[in-house]
Amino acid sequence: MKKAISPCIGEYDGGDITCIGDSDSDNEDDSRPCSWRKKCKVFKQYMKDTNTEAVDYLEAGKDEDGNYYANARDGYEAFRAFCDDLVEKSKKKKKKRKIKKTKLKVDNRLKGPTVAAKTAAALALAARSKERKAVLFKMFMEFRRSLTEHLEDIEFASPGKAVLPGQFFIINRSEASSYLSLYCKSSRGRDMPIACFMMKTHSLSFNVKIPVEVDSLEKELSKVTFDRLSPVLVKGSGRFKSIIKKAKKVELALIAESIANLVDSGNIELSS
């Protein structure tokens, strides 16, 4: 088997099933997480810490068949060893933080009331977060209803049942990871990305990612809609190309209408 680096290395996204796999999929390839995800996550953090970019380490592009590729400037084995070393260093840092946290807990037990106060504050914060997530989930369901109005032939898969070709389905990770993703099952059985909604509980809004380039959005959307949504580029070669930040009810309604138009125009593919 040819040794290959994931072409989107350094763009790890906990809300993208391309990275974490789709646990609800019956397709073994779709359900399997990317084998580079741990390396990708720490490499992304390393670039952030060192103010570097993927191009400093990799040469990326498309082959004759239109498939993305990434070649390490220092060679595959050297780059893999470099990423493995970053993973090990990350594990050691987490272990040190865990030991330090344990020591703090022991010290706090001696103070009595401080522990109780912190516990109460943590419970209150968790309850507030849960309430805000419930509000955001209602907003998402309103978006779904709006999308259904704009795409009359849309059909959502029934919860707990296998997703059939042509059906839309929701991946709900709102409780554990604060995101919801919308996909469509293609005729070939592929999970085609429609949008990913990252919950922002502090501002009661979403950061919404869609699989269309910003330039294409500017061409397809009206100037009023484009300016209101103000999409920006998502770096890398992942499946989501642009992101709309701090979207609330008005913006979500515009996003639903825009997605319907992008599906009709073929900018969002459902059948590949």
The domain segmentation of the chain, as residue ranges, is: 1-110, 130-265
pLDDT at 115: 66
pLDDT at 103: 60
pLDDT at 1: 45
Cβ-Cβ contacts under 8 Å for 66 (sequence gap 6 or more)? none
pLDDT at 107: 55
pLDDT at 99: 64
pLDDT at 4: 77
Q: State which residues of the chain have pLDDT below 50.
A: 1
